[in-house]
Amino acid sequence: MSSSHARPGPRSIELFERAQRTIPGGVNSPARAFNGVGGGAPAFIDRAKGAYIIDVDGNEYVDYVGSYGPMILGHADPQVIEAIQKQAAKGLSFGAPTGLEVELAELICDMVGSIESVRMVNSGTEAAMTALRLARGYTGRKKVIKFAGNYHGHVDALLVNAGSGPLTLGIPGSPGIPEAVVADTLVATYNDLDSVAEAFAAHGDDIACVMVEPVAGNMNCIPPVEGFLEGLRSLCDAHGTLLVFDEVMTGFRVHPGCAQALFGVTPDVTALGKIVGGGMPVGAVGASRQVMETLAPTGPVYQAGTLSGHPLGMAAGIATLSQLADGSVHRAIAPKLATLRKGLAEHATRHGVPFLTQAAGAMFGMFFTDQPRVERFDDVAACDIDGFSRFFHGMLDNGVYLAPAAFEAAFISRAHDDEAIERTLAAADKAFAAVAQA
């Protein structure tokens, strides 16, 4: 692999200028824009392999975005690519069931203990949206508790801002969402069981579900504090409320059995995405057979999708999960992530930069703060966002690609070998120096 390192080059800039004429902000998802790190053209990617992405100017980067999670095997994994190519030659989509959907459903049920039945959808957003409707339909209740800083895709009812406390009903998080749509959404504080108990005390018997990221990966990377998930389980059991784990990001990322296996807490419903499709557009909702049969056509809760269970997505998901099932990928990743985190901390210390990493399985977060740990949304908000931005550009200039936002998690893969880690740490030495000089 060539090791030319440079900011997004002329072809990215030219493509960005063109893109902005026909695509809002020049990107098909705001997370890819560089608005959170000072703006400018993002790198337009031409191809990727293993731990590396290569942009249209030939610049090569060690990649810690991994498509925001799916690429745990590394980019262009040969088995995944071959599975897609073979399936594509047989036709793309039929609007009729295929054996591939059964195979992936069985694989998910084998790997995730709480799932006896699963419905495929096309994104994490659809998975969270379906999980919410399913919980409301199954319980006959309206209210939902979510957590400030948790993101469940762009579902109207879940795009809410935290009110003054968990008792205040949701405030629309975006124009275009009527107050009525979030009127039953309660917003609690992540890692704060008291805030959840308050909401249950006020609305307990009308709460259909608690939806939570078992590791918060949309306010950087914040694992649950001891007892938090267990406490949610107890509160849900006491009130006949369903516990929904949004494992779109954590699913198969933090453990082959998902976060529910890592932390030993069993949800009633699980939303999946990202890794479950191996890089293809796949989401899924899983639960007990009893809960899932509430969904059409066996039950009254409507849900559907032209391309749900898409054969190429199924083929990619099967080829991915089948490589994760025995745990060998996660075991191989663990020491490499430990080496990376240790090296980052050493370089930060040497340059006098307040810095902290947190991790769960094969996802991790980098915080520019002197706090000993970051457990809540307010802790994240207190971090040095400008410091992250300078670090981001320092890493980009030296051939390491991070998510262009301080509130995103980072993702390592099986393909991140010693050389990739060494190149990352060499870049970090320069990037921390840039942070320190500011």
Q: Which residues are catalytic?
A: 151, 246, 274
Which CB, 138 or 151, lies closer to ligand KE4?
151
**Which of these ranges, 140-148, 149-157, 194-202, 234-242, lies near ligand KE4 under the rule CB under 6 A?**
149-157
Which CB, 271 or 319, lies closer to ligand KE4?
271
The dihedral sign for the CA sequence 259, 260, 263, 268: positive
What backbone torsions phi and psi does residue 114 show, to the nearest 5 degrees?
Answer: -80, -10
Q: Residues binding ligand KE4: what is the number (CB under 6 A)?
A: 18
The dihedral sign for the CA sequence 142, 147, 152, 153: positive
Does residue number 123 form part of the binding site for ligand KE4 (CB under 6 A)?
yes
In the range 238-267, which residues lie near ligand KE4 by CB under 6 A? 246, 248-249
Which CB, 33 or 434, lies closer to ligand KE4?
33
Task: Give the whole-angstrom CA distance, residue 418 versus residue 273.
Answer: 29
Does residue number 151 form part of the binding site for ligand KE4 (CB under 6 A)?
yes
- Nearest-Å Rg of the Cα atoms of the chain is 21
Enumerate residues 6+ apart whose C-beta is below 8 A from 77: 278, 319, 320, 323, 415
**Which of these ranges, 164-172, 210-218, 338-346, 392-400, lies near ligand KE4 under the rule CB under 6 A?**
210-218
Task: Give the whole-angstrom CA distance, residue 150 versus residue 246.
Answer: 9
Task: Give the whole-angstrom CA distance, residue 140 versus residue 180.
Answer: 18
Which CB, 67 or 339, lies closer to ligand KE4?
67
Task: Give the whole-angstrom CA distance, residue 203 versus residue 207.
Answer: 6
**Which of these ranges, 146-154, 332-340, 368-376, 377-385, lies near ligand KE4 under the rule CB under 6 A?**
146-154
Secondary structure class of 227 (helix, strand, coil): coil
Which CB, 185 or 398, lies closer to ligand KE4?
185
Q: Which amino acid type is present at position 35?
A: N
Closest CB 41 distance from ligand KE4, rounded Å: 17
For 186, the token pair is: 């309660």
Residue with smallest beta-carbon separation from ligand KE4: 124
Does residue number 217 form part of the binding site for ligand KE4 (CB under 6 A)?
yes
For 157, the token pair is: 């009812």
Does residue number 125 form part of the binding site for ligand KE4 (CB under 6 A)?
yes
Enumerate residues 6+ apart whose C-beta is below 8 A from 371: 356, 379, 382, 383
Q: Which of 63, 77, 192, 213 binds ligand KE4 (CB under 6 A)?
A: 213
**Which of these ranges, 117-125, 159-167, 330-338, 358-366, lies near ligand KE4 under the rule CB under 6 A?**
117-125
Q: Which of 59, 195, 218, 413 binds ligand KE4 (CB under 6 A)?
A: 218
Secondary structure class of 341 (helix, strand, coil): helix
Closest CB 403 distance from ligand KE4, rounded Å: 8
Task: Give the whole-angstrom CA distance, residue 435 versus residue 431.
Answer: 6
The dihedral sign for the CA sequence 183, 196, 158, 357: positive
Which CB, 159 or 249, lies closer to ligand KE4?
249
Closest CB 1 distance from ligand KE4, rounded Å: 26
**Which of these ranges, 98-106, 145-153, 371-379, 427-435, lies near ligand KE4 under the rule CB under 6 A?**
145-153
> Nearest-5° angle of CA 42, CA 282, CA 221?
55
Which CB, 56 or 276, lies closer to ligand KE4?
276
Does residue number 124 form part of the binding site for ligand KE4 (CB under 6 A)?
yes
Which CB, 228 or 432, lies closer to ligand KE4?
228
For 352, the token pair is: 């006098």
Query: For residue 321, which of 66, 50, 63, 77 has the smallest C-alpha distance?
Result: 77
For 435, the token pair is: 């942070």
Q: Kindly write out the interface string for residues 282-311 of this chain, putting x where it contacts ligand KE4 by CB under 6 A and - elsewhere.
A: ------------------------------
Q: Which of 22, 29, 164, 437 binds ligand KE4 (CB under 6 A)?
A: 29
User: How far is CA 212 from each of CA 164, 250, 294, rounded to the nearest angstrom?
Assistant: 19, 11, 21
Does residue number 153 form part of the binding site for ligand KE4 (CB under 6 A)?
yes
Q: Which of 55, 63, 379, 408 binds ligand KE4 (CB under 6 A)?
A: 408
Task: Give the whole-angstrom CA distance, residue 392 versus residue 137.
Answer: 44
Closest CB 408 distance from ligand KE4, rounded Å: 5
CA 122 to chain centre: 15
Binding stretches for ligand KE4 (CB under 6 A): 29, 31, 68, 123-125, 128, 151-153, 213, 217-218, 246, 248-249, 273, 408
